[in-house]
Chains A and B, each alone.
Chain A
Amino acid sequence: MVNPILLIIIPLATAFFIPLLAIVWKNGSRYLALLAALANVLIGIKLLPYVLEKPIHVTIAGFKAPIGIDLLAGPLGIVFSLIISITGFLVLIYSIGYIRDESINKYYTLFLLLLTGSTGMVLTNDIFNLFVFFEILCISSYILVAYNRDEHGLEAAIKYLVLGSVGSLLFLIAIAIIYLKLGTLNMADISDKFDALGGSYRMMVVVLILSGLGVEAAIFPLNSWLPDAHSSAPSSISALLSGFVIEVALIVVMKLVYSVFHAMQVLNALAVVGVITLLVGEFAAFRQENIKRVLAYSSIGQVGLILLALSINSKAGISAAVLQIINHTASKSILFLVSGYFILKTGSYRYSDYSGIAKRMPVSSLLFVLAALSLIGVPPFLGFFSKLQIVMAAAARGSTFYVSLVSLVLLGTIVEGAYFLRIAQVLYFGRQQDTDSGWLETGNAAGIDMESVGNAPVSAVIPVLLLGIVVVFGFLFLTNLNGVTGSIAGEITRALSLASLF
C-alpha cells in the first residue's frame, strides 16, 4: 500500500525541483508537471479500493494523533484528491498548447502548488494544517489569477487576495478559540470534545469558520471575488478554480460542520444561503455578456446548489452533492477550457462575437454545449442525475421549507438554461439580439474574421474530450459513482473520533 502522504509530497517536491530543472532544460517543466500529476492519479486509483473499506490514518514525524499532525485518507480525501489530480492532469495537457510565454516554469510550479494545497486540504486531519494548506491554495491561486499580468487579472487578484486574507483572519480567530478552549488542534480530538463547549463558543467557532473558509468556498455574500477572479485568470486556471478549488473548500467546510463541530443547527441557514447563492449566481449570469463572467457567475450558482445539497443533512443529499461536484468539475472545466480557445481565436470576450464559430471549431463547440447541458441538468448527462438526486434528497426531508427551496432551485435552473442556451445558439446559429426590429443576424459586430478562425490544437481537444466522456457517459457508471459518493457521505456524516483512528 502506498503512503497517502505522497499525494502531497510528490507535487510539492516537483514544484521545488522545477527551478533547478529549468536551468538545464527550459521547457522540461511541462512534462515534469504532467508526470507528477499522473503519479498522483495513479496513487489515488491505487489507494481508492483500500480506502473504501477503511480509512487510512497517517501520522507525521511519528507522533500520535492529538500531539502531531496527521492525515486521514478516507473516501473523501482520496476521491477528492483524485478529482484534483485528474483535473489537474487534463488541464496540464491543455496548458501545453495554451500557456506559451517566458515564465512557463513559474506557471507549472504554481500549478503544482495549487494541486498540493487543495490535496492537502482534503487529506489533512488537523485544523491548523488545514489553514496552512488553505493558504497555499489561496496564494497560488492569487498569483495564477494575475498570471497574465494584465490590468484585469491584477485587479481581480488583489481583490481575491484581500478577501482571502480577511477570510483567513477569521479562520485564525476560530483556531485561536478552539485552542484556547480545547487545547487541541486535531479534528478528531476536537470532535470528541466540542460538544462540551458552551453555546456561544460553538456558535462563534462555527460562524467564524463558515465565514472564513466560506470566502474560498464562494458562499453568497463572501463570493464577490469569484466573478472577477475566474473571469480574469487564464482559462486553464479558471477551469481549475471553478473546477475544484471552490468545491474543495466547500466540502471541507461542510466536513468540519458535520463531522467535527456537529453543528446541525446551522444547516437550515446554510441551505437558505445556498439557495440565495444559487439565485444570485444564475440571475447575475443572465445579464453578462462576457463569456467568462457568465461561466463564473454560473459557478456561483452551482456552488449554491452544492451548498444546498450539502446542507440537507441526509446522506442522500451529501452523496448527491458529491456527484454534482464531480459533474461540475468536469463540465465547468470543459466550458472554461473551450472558452479559452474561443477567446484566443477571436480575440473577444463577448460571446455574441462567436457567432457561428461552431462551423470552425466543431468539436470544441459541441463539447461546450454538452457541458452546458449537463450543468443545466438535461438527461442523460451526469448533471441531470446529480440535480435530480439533490432535488429528491431535499424533497425527501418532507418539510415545506425544503420543498420551497427546491422550487427556487428549479427556478434558478430555468434561468441557467436560458442563458446557457442563448450562448449555445450563438455558437451554432449566429448572434441574436432582442431589439424591436426583431431577429438580427449580424455576425461580426467586432469585425472578427470567422474564416480565419482555426480549430483548437490537439492538446486542447484531448483533455476536453476526456472530460466530455465523463459528462456524457458518466450516467453509465452511476451505480459505481453512487457507491463512492455514498461512502463519502457516510464519512462526512459520521462524527470523527480519536478512538476510531487507531
Chain B
Amino acid sequence: MINYFFLLLVIVMLGSAIAIIFIRNLLAAVIVVTVVSLVASILFIFIASPDVAITEATIGAALTTVIFVLALSRTKKKT
C-alpha cells in the first residue's frame, strides 16, 4: 500500500519536473523546483535515510529557493 503512496509522490515529483519545461514564468518554475525537492526529501524518508531527507529539505528546498528567488529579484528588468 505504502508503495502506491510512494508512487503517487514520485508521479507528483516527475510531473512537477516536467511542468518546469513548459513554465515560462521563472518564479513559478522556482516554486515548482521547491516542490520537487520537498517530495524528493519524502522519498528519502521512504528509503530509510532521514539524514539525507533533512539535508535535502533544508538545503535543497529552503536554501535553494531563497537563493533562486534572490537571484530572480536581481535579474528582473529595472522597474
Report if A and B touch in the complex (beta carbons < 8 A).
no
